Amino acid sequence: MINFDCHAHVYEHIRAVPGARYVPHAPAPLDTWLRLQSDHGLRGGVIVQVSFLGTDNSQLLKALSLLDQDRFAGIACLGMDTPESDLRDLAVAGVRGVRWNLVAGAALPDPADRQVRRFLDLLRAHGMHVEVQLESDRWADYLPALAGSPVAVVIDHMGLPISQDAQAEPWLDALEACPNRERFFVKLSAPYRGTRDTRAHLDRLTGLLPAGRFVWGSDWPHTRFEHAASFAEGLQEVAARFDDTQAARSLYGIRV
């Protein structure tokens, strides 16, 4: 059973950073998201920093300050040079991970690089993980590099699948070929950002990772797909098939 919405964007004001790929036309208020949770019988969830706000996590932190940390958490966007004192403050505020949005040709942080390794070690010290959004075909080379990460790695939006044939999906091939999958979790969210019919992909995934490695996310307010996505429809596709209790506790400290 799905109990939590582990991927939603909440922002009361739209203040896009220069060069943002997409800027929505309306805010995504906290009260609206909470009402959606109540309407669908969910207990809590995770607010993920939206890309158009860059590394200004102030609205995320404001929302977290109004929520119960036993039921809610946040995922921030940060630079690799973030001071440890800032990470400590974020952890106290309820941030449980950092998002790397690496789509559209963004450079891939190398875990073997000294600065990247320092950053990952700091995340581990403060009970955080890394969530990665990356296109399926680019996972093939990157996933093995992350297998030795000192922190958990959440594969965002189900790896952004591109193939109708789950047996020919590049990122699933990479996951299957990876001898060490202990660090990997998968966020079941936003099929409309990749291959809409992911039933066969889910079948293959559940043969590659144990049951406690999956969380669901609504991707609300579905930026760029506001008129093509549905909170209820996304939940219905996975609600009876997965139990997110263990993964939500492991990744986000959600204990209810």
Number of domains within the chain: 1
Query: Are the C-beta atoms of residues 131 and 75 closer than 8 Å to each other?
Result: yes
The confidence score (pLDDT) of residue 64 equals 98
Tokens, residue 61: 């932190």
0.85 exceeded by pTM: yes
Calpha distance 162→196 (Å, rounded): 9
The confidence score (pLDDT) of residue 20 equals 67
Calpha distance 190→238 (Å, rounded): 12
Give the DSSP H/E element, type plus range, for residue 62.
Answer: helix 58-65
> Burial, 3: exposed, middle or buried (Cβ in 10 Å; 0-12, 13-18, 19+)?
buried
Calpha distance 115→154 (Å, rounded): 20
Domain of 10 in residue numbering reads as 4-252
Query: Are the C-beta atoms of residues 144 and 178 closer than 8 Å to each other?
Result: yes
Cross-strand partners of 133: 101
Calpha distance 146→161 (Å, rounded): 19
| pLDDT tens-place values along the chain, 256 residues long | 999 999 999 999 988 778 767 778 889 999 999 999 999 999 999 999 999 899 999 999 999 999 999 999 999 999 999 999 999 999 999 999 999 999 999 999 999 999 999 999 999 999 999 999 999 999 988 999 999 999 999 999 999 999 999 999 999 999 999 999 999 999 999 888 888 888 899 999 999 999 999 999 999 999 888 887 888 888 888 888 999 999 999 999 998 7
CATH at residue 246: 3.20.20.140
Calpha distance 116→30 (Å, rounded): 33
The confidence score (pLDDT) of residue 22 equals 74
